[in-house]
Amino acid sequence: MEQVWSGQPNGALVSETAGLLPGKALDVGCGEGADAVWLAEHGWDVTALDVSQAALARAARHAEHARVPVRWVHAGLVEASLPPGTFDLVSAQYPALLRTEDHDAEAALLAAVAPGGTLLVVHHANIDEEQLRARGIEPEDYVSRSDVAALLDDTWRIEVNETRPRHVTAGAGSHHTHDVILRARRLN
Ligand SMILES: C[S@@+](CC[C@H](N)C(=O)[O-])C[C@H]1O[C@@H](n2cnc3c(N)ncnc32)[C@H](O)[C@@H]1O
């Protein structure tokens, strides 16, 4: 099957991790693994998680080609039962996490971050909701930036919460022109 994504790391990941010391990273919904591979190439100890076995197989090939180690986990974020407070960086780039009444996915994202660690959640801005609904996708069913932000209490410092232009000219998703970026630091 053809590769769907560009193979390039997401721009927001590259820019938002520029000031961070590499440690343990979790890439949630890693897809074909471009971000996971890029993080590993830049000194991070990477765990990458996705529900799609096909995406993970491609991601593993990508990592093999780049000769970097990445721990691939075939599971949903909530079902993975990750050890809490472990990751210096938890990155979710364009996540398609189902929203639940108990906010399970958002809670799992926050719980995975180590004290002093960074949570980075990036969504597409200006989504054409009608077009999604025409394709049978209900945007309200998915965790949004504000769902995550709503759980950030005073044990977190929000460092970035803004919409920025995105520069992607090729591959699936290249029609999205702006990102919504939420970056927060876990204080304790
Ligand atoms: C829009 S893609 C984004 C992929 C990648 N992060 C990127 O930026 O190219 C969303 C990914 O999330 C995965 N996914 C969906 N639900 C998930 C869940 N509950 N836990 C982990 N991954 C999930 C999908 O299989 C898909 O690979």
In the prediction, which pLDDT does 1 show? 44
Q: What is the pTM of this model?
A: 0.94
pLDDT by position in tens, the chain (length 188): 455 556 899 999 999 999 999 999 999 999 999 999 999 999 999 999 999 999 999 999 999 999 999 999 999 999 999 999 999 999 999 999 999 999 999 999 999 999 999 999 999 998 889 999 999 999 999 999 999 999 999 999 999 999 998 877 666 667 778 999 999 999 98
Pocket test for ligand 1, best of 52, 89, 166, 176 (most atoms within 8 A of CB): 52
The protein residue with its alpha carbon nearest to ligand 1, atom 27, reads: 31
**DSSP assignment of the chain, as one string?**
----S-SSPPHHHHHHTTTSPP-EEEEET-TTSHHHHHHHHTT-EEEEEES-HHHHHHHHHHHHHHT--EEEEES-TTTT-PPTT-EEEEEEES--PBP-TT-HHHHHHHHHEEEEEEEEEEEESS--HHHHHHTT--GGGB--HHHHHTT--TTEEEEEEEEEE----SSTTTT--EEEEEEEEE--
The residues lining ligand 1, judged by C-beta closer than 6 Å to any ligand atom, are 5, 10, 28-31, 49-52, 55, 76-77, 93-97
Instruction: Quote the ligand 1 centre to 96 CA distance (angstroms).
Output: 6
In the prediction, which pLDDT does 26 show? 98
In the prediction, which pLDDT does 127 show? 85
In the prediction, which pLDDT does 4 show? 55
The protein residue with its alpha carbon nearest to ligand 1, atom 18, reads: 76
**Of ligand 1's atoms, which has the minimum distance to the CA of residue 5?**
9
